[in-house]
Amino acid sequence: MTVVVGDTIDWTLRGFHNRTGATATNYAVVDIPGVGLNFLSGTIPALHNGAGVTYSVRYRVAGSSVVHTHATGIPASAPFTFALPQPGDRHYTHIELYFGTVPADFALGDEIVFTFRVGNNAPNNLLVNHFVVMHNGAETPGQSPYQPVVLPPPPSNGPLVPNGNGNGYIELDDGGIPRGEWIWNDNQWVFTEIENDGVPLGIMPQTGIGSLPWLATMLSLIITGGMGTLLMILVRKRIKEGA
């Protein structure tokens, strides 16, 4: 699967519940996104067996070992959504939900969703994200082997915006009007141009124009590992009119 810089990606954490069969201490879920995944927001549901449990949201930023606390005293029995400042290229190396002491089967069947913006600096153009579950002084990995590929920039001098389908870019003219679309196909860029009336002219590799599908693409893949599961979903990037 391929994505483009500027797309948003949801990583859904599953299977992180307390499966020890007893009360667990120092319980935490820590997401560790790789470079190229710029954190935007997180959504936590009302968690199973969460009555009386509260948690904190903590994070670390690339280049610093300081652990920051975003919020604390959050009731685990109620849904919670949060966002961290994202100027566009800030890499949060750790996003932690620290629960402390939790009962048996805590968070059973629940899902946590983290949303990221795709950056242009993923090593080898591959996106990697994994998380760990901490409990009773132990750490269990929930790593995902799935690595979406970030497309290289197309051979264009014009302004570009993601096409919303995860496979290319819309090229704009000097007035900000779409003049064509670059599609990554068979390991090469194909450019499709549009006439003024919006009718496609045809497809020419590396040269000429196309159609604007404007349809959202959604791909999900469940990977199980260790104590947890990661579900990755590509979410359509909203394109601002005239951008």
**Same-domain status, 47 and 100:** yes
Rounded Cα distance between 3 and 1, Å, is 7
Contact 127, 36 (CB under 8 A): yes
Please tell me the total number of residues recorded for the chain in this structure: 243
Number of structural domains the chain divides into: 2
Tell whether 36 is covered by a domain: yes
Q: Does residue 135 have a pLDDT over 70?
A: yes
Q: Residue 1, CB half-sphere, CA atoms under 13 Å: how many?
A: 18
Rounded Cα distance between 124 and 147, Å, is 11
Tell whether 211 is covered by a domain: no
Q: Which of 48-52, 152-156, 207-211 has the lowest mean pLDDT?
A: 207-211
Q: What pTM, to 2 d.p., does this model score?
A: 0.71
Q: Does residue 24 have a pLDDT over 70?
A: yes
**Same-domain status, 102 and 169:** no
Q: Which range of residues forms the domain containing residue 193?
A: 152-205
Q: Does residue 202 have a pLDDT over 60?
A: no
**Same-domain status, 191 and 102:** no
Burial 163-175 (b: 16+ CB within 10 A, else e): bbbbbbbbbbeee
